[in-house]
Amino acid sequence: MRTLAGQFNLTVSPRTYQPCCKFRNRFRSVGHLKININKSIDLDELRKRNQGVKKGGFWTPHDCPPRSRVIIIVPHRNRWSHLIQWLAHYHPILQRQKLEYRIVVTEQVQRNLFNKGRLYNAAFLECERAFDFDCVIFHDVDMLLENDHNMYWCYNMTRPRHLSPAVDKFRYQLPYHILVGGVLAMTRHMFKRVNGFSNQFWGWGGEDDDMWGRLVAVNTTVDRPHPTIGRYTMIKHRTRKGERNFMLTYRLVLLATSGSRWSRDGLNDVRDYCKLTQVAHEPLFTHFVFDVGNQPRQKPRNT
């Protein structure tokens, strides 16, 4: 695999700079946000709005050292309009939160069913080999934060944090208690401890519920922000033909084996399936494209 080179290096003088988190007035969060989906916005306009963002989607505060160095991994396929909206929404939020961050968009070559678990795992390993970070956030491209008091960091984190418990699609209620999909923050160490996501889920859903089984297997669960803080708007989209049927056929079989499968299905074998085919340092994000292999034709065995 090809890899990137570079690190998030920040050299500051302790006499001049103080940690951002020690001074609340350094945060410029506004609380509740008005979600404005502007379909006419383009990438050139976004570049002009975010001239402080370095190539590859990297930004760091200049008036204080950040408390957390964050990678945000966003899987994407054929949702360019959603991605533009996502970038327009989040770059200002992350900067107000005074985070050192890099946005990584990960995409698969194949036109067949989506495999989000493999994209997450492969992108994480590439980031680990190329960048310096202590926090990783796995983020759906259609999720827009409604309250920027919901911090995108891993500062003082003892358990993974499910940042999106209240989504408008579900009337701002958590649909079921093991849900960790949408937006999930984990320390780099914790993600490696659970061996990442499963590589076996194709199509819509499943890999997030399997993650809950992995967390339980290592004797942890998740924290969540209060529903008034962890609020999100989901951009409407259609489920691809065939994805839901695949989920119904395969999901329960795979989920039944989460507890016995997690240690051998994840980060430690994703390179058996995935190959990095393209890397690009775009103005507002780093772009990875992977060959994720082909979906199986037979139903997995319940073992």
Amino acid at the residue 183: V
Domain boundaries, the chain: 52-236+244-291
Please give the pLDDT value at position 98. Answer: 94
Fold (CATH) for 52-236+244-291 = Spore Coat Polysaccharide Biosynthesis Protein SpsA; Chain A (3.90.550)
Q: Could you give the angle at the alpha carbon of 164 between the alpha carbons of 163 and 170, nearest 5°?
A: 165
> Could you give the residue numbers annotated as active site?
140, 142, 204, 207-208, 234, 237-238
Mean pLDDT by 10 residues, the chain (303 residues): 39 44 59 81 88 96 91 91 94 95 95 91 98 97 97 95 97 95 97 97 87 95 97 81 60 84 96 96 97 77 53
Report H helices in the chain: 43-49, 80-96, 116-130, 188-193, 207-217, 243-255, 258-261
Considering Cα of 298, then 205, then 258, then 155, what sign does the dihedral take?
A: positive
> What's the rounded Cα separation, in Å, for the pair 23 and 189?
28
Amino acid identity of residue 170, one-letter, is F
Residue 16 is predicted with a pLDDT of 44
- Buried b or exposed e, range 13-50, using 16+ CB within 10 angstroms: eeeeeeebbeeeebeeeeeebeeeeeeebeeeebeeeb
CA neighbor of 182 nearest in space, from 256, 122, 251, 234: 234
Pairing of strands 183-187, 275-281: unpaired
* Residue type at position 62: H
Return the pLDDT at 241: 55
Contact yes or no for 162/192 (Cβ under 8 A) = no
pLDDT at 126: 98
Instruction: Write down the pLDDT at residue 250.
Output: 75
Give the list of residues 6+ apart from residue 42 with CB closer than 8 angstroms, or none: 84
Q: Check if the beta carbon of residue 163 is closer than 8 Å to that of residue 184.
A: yes
Task: Indicate the Cα dihedral angle 179, 185, 189, 192, nearest 10°.
Answer: 50
pLDDT value of position 85 = 93
Q: What is the pTM of this model?
A: 0.88
Q: Which of 138, 149, 208 is nearest to 176 (CA)?
A: 208
